[in-house]
Amino acid sequence: MTTPPDVSPTLWGLVRRPSPSGQERAAATWLVQHMQALGFTAAHLDEVGNAIGHMGAGPREIVLLGHIDTVPGEVPVRVTTDDAGRRVLYGRGSVDAKGPLAAFVDAVAAVGPRPGWRLTVIAAVDEERDSVGARHIVSRHRPAFAIIGEPSRWHRVTLGYKGSAWAQVRVRTPLAHTAAQAPSACEQAVALWQHVRDWVAAHNADRAKPFEQLQVTLRGWASGGDGLHEWADLRLGARLPLDWPPERWYAALQAQCAAWDATVTPQGYAIPAYLADRRSPLVRAFLRAIRSQGARPGLVRKSGTADLNIVAPAWQCPAVAYGPGDSALDHTPHEHLPLDEYARAVQVLQAVLTALTAA
């Protein structure tokens, strides 16, 4: 399929190649070849399938970390005109987060080699699941600055994301006849969930800002028995503010479940919240670049979790998230990216990279 004349070949090539988590290989291989064609100094796939491109070979490094995987679901790839008269690209990943990733590639290609610096673009795999790609590269780089590719709109910079933690809560009771008055495991699990939800709501009563609130959701349910006992499992997901590291959350959840004699089992990878320093030279460079495009910049904090939470604490360098696109469209059947917004984001990134590497 020919690239439409008003669409970046990088953006078009990535969006039209499906890459749900666990199936990123074809898109990543194409991106490596594309970066080579754009004049990157080197590009390759690493051991876990991340596509990595380097521009320049200096001792100081800026890492632009995006992710190439998407959630499942097909959004037909097409370019159309919206009600505001803007040209927009529809497709799974156009916003989350192939748009930001493509902008990284195009900006670095436009800037080219910078004396004393290496500009590294990483298209990480598995971000939508367990962040295998980011966890693999975190010990392999020590950048001076890091930019994480997530949609924030072209004129906004994301300073922070909440943490996340998953748990299975199991209620187990002796099996009783259905005519008995004893509550079943399922009934007790429902009561427990209502208690946890009410407890979280009470905790948030004096916290007006979403970034400061605990959030808990019921994401799964299962029940069963062995003839002697019955059980009910709740799968809970939590979004954690800065003052709630995962260990505090798990301890508090266990305490709230004590009256039901329920067990709490952590699942997956728990991630603490992260908030960048708004006074860093990286943030200042973004603010200047956005203003130079005639817009008033915004600094935002989000309730989700991103690879920023994983790499920034380890790298201990100025780090933010940035990218074109409206995050409200993430994972939806209406995912689309205005092409003028994409072009503006590339220009902002060019200005930021040029400024950071000028010294």
Confidence (pLDDT) at 72: 96
pLDDT of 181 > 70? The answer is no
Confidence (pLDDT) at 283: 98
Helices (H) and strands (E) in the chain, counts: 9, 16
For residue 331, give every residue at least 6 positions away whose Cβ sits within 8 Å of its Cβ, in sequence order, or none: 71, 73, 96
Q: Which of 346, 325, 301, 343 is nearest to 121 (CA)?
A: 346
For residue 255, give every residue at least 6 positions away whose Cβ sits within 8 Å of its Cβ, in sequence order, or none: none
Alpha-carbon distance of 220 to 217, in angstroms, equals 9
Confidence (pLDDT) at 227: 79
SS3 245: coil
Compute how many other C-beta atoms are within 10 angstroms of the C-beta atom of residue 197: 14
Whether 83 is a known active-site residue: answer no
For residue 294, give every residue at least 6 positions away whose Cβ sits within 8 Å of its Cβ, in sequence order, or none: none
Confidence grade of residue 176 (pLDDT, cut at 50, 70, 90): low
User: Active site residue: 61, 69, 128, 335, which one?
Assistant: 69
User: Active site residue: 96, 126, 127, 335, which one?
Assistant: 127
Provide the phi-psi class of 325: left if phi over 0, else alpha when psi is between -120 and 50, else beta: left
Q: What is the pLDDT of residues 225-259, one digit of tens each?
A: 887 889 999 999 999 999 999 999 999 999 999 99
Confidence grade of residue 2 (pLDDT, cut at 50, 70, 90): confident
Compute how many other C-beta atoms are within 10 angstroms of the C-beta atom of residue 265: 11
For residue 29, which phi and psi values (nearest 5 degrees)?
-65, -45
Secondary structure E strands in the chain: 42-45, 51-55, 60-67, 78-81, 87-90, 117-124, 145-149, 156-161, 163-174, 215-225, 229-240, 263-271, 274-275, 298-302, 319-322, 336-338
Percentage of the chain exceeding pLDDT 70: 98
Confidence (pLDDT) at 183: 86
| Mean pLDDT taken over the chain | 95
Confidence grade of residue 152 (pLDDT, cut at 50, 70, 90): very high
Confidence (pLDDT) at 180: 56
For tokens 């969930």, name the residue. Answer: 193
What's the DSSP call for residue 112?
-
Q: Dig out the tokens for 350 from the structure.
A: 């060019």
Length of the chain: 359
Q: Dig out the tokens for 147 from the structure.
A: 């930019």
Domains of the chain (ranges, CATH numbers): 9-161+273-356 (3.40.630.10), 163-271 (3.30.70.360)
Confidence grade of residue 11 (pLDDT, cut at 50, 70, 90): very high
For residue 76, which phi and psi values (nearest 5 degrees)?
-50, 130
Q: Dig out the tokens for 177 from the structure.
A: 């006849």
Whether 187 is a known active-site residue: answer no
Confidence (pLDDT) at 197: 97
Compute how many other C-beta atoms are within 10 angstroms of the C-beta atom of residue 51: 29
Least confident span in 2-6, 103-107, 288-292, 322-326: 2-6
Distance set, CA 321 to CA 34, 140, 150 (Å): 24, 20, 6
SS3 136: helix
pLDDT of 295 > 60? The answer is yes
Instruction: Answer yes or no: pTM beyond 0.75.
Output: yes
